[in-house]
Amino acid sequence: MTAGASDPRSRKPKLLDQMRAHLRTRHYSYRTEEAYVGWVRRYILYHHKRHPLDMGAEQVEQFLTHLAVDRHVSPSTQNQAKSAVLYLYKQVLGVELEWLDEVVQAKRRTRLPVVLTPTEVRDLLQHMDGSARLVAELLYGTGLRLMEGLRLRVKDVEFTRREVMVRAGKGGKDRVTVLPENLVLPLKRQLERARALHEEDLAAGFGRVYLPYALAMKYRNADKAWAWQWVFPSRRRALDPRPDAVTGRQIERRHHLYPESVQRGVRHAARLTGIDKPVSPHVLRHSFATHLLQAGYDIRTVQELLGHKDVSTTMIYTHVLNKGGRGVLSPLDAL
């Protein structure tokens, strides 16, 4: 196929820039944008920079096979790569070919989640400090995902009703979860520190936080309002990679706390505690759900707090309700 006036490859801007613009138009998160663009870039480089319009099902299969066989990626990672490449063809290039629906889907393995005991959670948290500890306590106390916790804004914490509002969580859904009594005072102190930073930024001519869905254009001063600021702001300001909705230029903002800092803190605390399990911030969410079920809470309640679309997803935690090996007398013990 030769590049002509009707060929998508002849259009401006470049292909990856087109994909970024398309993802932003549909309000995909910045992390999803980076992941999808990264996979498409790898796909093109793997095939020696051939244009996607010159490739088809065979090349997509080769790339996915390379990820599984040579790179040993997990099924979920392989499926994310597939989703990114198919998004490029269907949404960005507008290619409607039968082979797109025939590309193999990696079979995901059903695994029981890693869960800490209450004692292990307590020991883990005791070996953490600062903002990372407060975030970890929030994840265990509310069942939030890591990015949901870091993206909390001041207006989303309701102290009077003891609620935390999760805005645009996984799947773009909002939900409400519980605010633990033990986190009320620590969160209030955190907000005092965050407000001091915000006032310093305003005095220095900054203080404009990122707002989604062009709210900055509709409410011109909302991005400076205290209610919209991050609960866990970063220590340093940085240039926002996304152009500002009003000026169209990149501006310096104070981002929220970076997830890597919390992840490092949890891993370090797990080593100090001597927990012989793969521990990450997400394990605290698993532990939240498991411990609620062990305490006798209804699975539908847990489903709602976690934000699961289907109760079958929440059912994976019900393994703790079964006695399993603990309820069986081994024949060796009966001798």
Look up 308 and say whether it is catalytic: yes
SS3 (DSSP) at 281: helix
Residue 38: partners with Cβ closer than 8 Å, 6 or more residues away? 84
| 23, 87, 255 from 84: Cα distances, Å | 11, 5, 26
Asked whether the beta carbons of 210 and 223 are under 8 A apart, the reply is yes
Identify which of 192, 190, 240, 193 has the alpha carbon closest to the alpha carbon of residue 216.
Answer: 240
The number of angstroms, rounded, from the C-alpha of 217 to the middle of its chain's C-alpha atoms is 26
Look up 317 and say whether it is catalytic: yes
Q: Which two tokens stand for residue 297?
A: 């809470």
Look up 22 and say whether it is catalytic: no
Segment 276-282 long-range contacts (CB within 8 Å, at least 24 positions apart)? 277/114, 277/116, 278/114, 279/114, 279/116, 279/124, 281/135, 281/136, 281/139, 281/146, 282/145, 282/146
Q: What is the 3-state secondary structure (H, E, C) of 117-181?
A: CHHHHHHHHHCCCHHHHHHHHHHHHHCCCHHHHHCCEHHHEECCCCEEEECCCHHHCCEEEECCH
Asked whether the beta carbons of 318 and 299 are under 8 A apart, the reply is yes
Residues 82, 145, 151, 153: which is the catalytic one? 145
Identify which of 324, 269, 309 has the alpha carbon closest to the alpha carbon of residue 140.
Answer: 269
Asked whether the beta carbons of 226 and 208 are under 8 A apart, the reply is no
Asked whether the beta carbons of 184 and 258 are under 8 A apart, the reply is no
Q: Which two tokens stand for residue 186?
A: 């620590």
Residues 20, 151, 254, 285: which is the catalytic one? 285
Residues 66, 90, 127, 282: which is the catalytic one? 282
Look up 145 and say whether it is catalytic: yes
Residues 155, 170, 195, 267: which is the catalytic one? 170
Look up 170 and say whether it is catalytic: yes
| 218, 224, 318 from 246: Cα distances, Å | 9, 13, 49
Residue 134 to residue 129: CA distance in whole angstroms: 8
Catalytic residues: 145, 170, 282, 285, 308, 317
